[in-house]
Amino acid sequence: AQSVAQPEDQVNVAEGNPLTVKCTYSVSGNPYLFWYVQYPNRGLQFLLKYITGDNLVKGSYGFEAEFNKSQTSFHLKKPSALVSDSALYFCAGRDPYTNAGKSTFGDGTTLTVKP
């Protein structure tokens, strides 16, 4: 069975500092991996995805993520955090070969960026 883990419930960083939100996965084969962000009272919004190719993917709002197959990780990063980045972040994975329609989500990480 596929699974996605976000080992940190909460990440706190100061504005201007780099941020990392961690994600590890257990999905067979070559998974599709996604990051979504959820702001209060709003639906999940897509940030970026890894499908194939370059292990470093860039997404919306200056975020990027690195796919590391040996460590089965897909950590979300941003070089310089903004207060407006404070939100709930979800990592999701999908096995495109055996179950293309089913995404598995982590339990989310709350990012707080302090001025």
Comparing CB distances to another protein, the nearer of 80 and 112 is 112
Comparing CB distances to another protein, the nearer of 79 and 107 is 107
- Judged by CB under 8 A, the residue of 45, 55, 71, 84 near another protein is 45
Residue 33: CA count within 13 A, CB half-sphere: 34
What residues pair up with 50 in beta bridges, in sequence order?
Answer: 33
Comparing CB distances to another protein, the nearer of 92 and 111 is 92
Q: Does 3 bind another protein (CB under 8 A)?
A: no
Which tokens belong to 88? 């709930």
Distance, CA of 62 to CA of 102 (rounded, Å): 28
H or E stretch covering 1: none
Q: Does 22 bind another protein (CB under 8 A)?
A: no
